Every structure is written in structure tokens, then in C-alpha cells.
Amino acid sequence: MWYAILSEDVADSLDKRASARPGHIARLKALADEGRLLVAGPHPAVDGMEPGPAGFTGSLVIAEFESLEAARAWADADPYVAAGAYANVIVKPFKRVLP
């Protein structure tokens, strides 16, 4: 089943994100290589693709996991969590309708 992982950043998270980004991206690439990643990306803090020093307010990952528990475990192991970039992470089932 698909699961949405909605993460909310702490204030001034850019440095924390930068230090953990290689590991974060590697985990996403692994999901993509397995055909289990629908979409992933950050939420810019400003209305633009490159927010510069404004940074990001969080991230969205929609990926396939065996269970809600497996999705939560994957989200809990994110390098951004370990780096303290995320203030809050919500994991919930996602029903893909379109496309």
C-alpha cells in the first residue's frame, strides 16, 4: 500500500538538512530503484522552486510499504530525523486515484 510521509521542519533547518542530505537522498533513490517511490520532495518556505536562505518548511514522500508500521519505521530512520531537521513527522495511508 502507498503511504504519505509528511514532515515538518524545525526553524532554520537548512544547515541540518545539508549535513544529512546525502543519506536522505540515498534512501529515496533506493525506494525509487525498487519501484516503490511515487513522489518525494521538499516544501519551499517561499513561493518558488529555489527558496535560497528561506529554506524549507518540510517534505512529502509517498512510497509503498508492506504496512503502516513499516512506513513509520522507515520514516523514523530518516537522516533528517537524526540530524534534528524535522520537528514532526506524520505517516498515514494514501489511496492513489489519479493518474
The Cα 86–Cα 23 span in angstroms is 15
Ordered per-residue pLDDT tens for the chain, 99 residues: 999 999 999 999 999 999 999 999 999 999 999 999 999 999 999 999 899 999 999 999 999 999 999 999 999 999 999 999 999 999 999 999 998
Average pLDDT, the chain: 97
Give the global pTM: 0.95
pLDDT at 77: 98
State the CB neighbour count (10 A cutoff) for residue 42.
Answer: 17
pLDDT at 83: 98
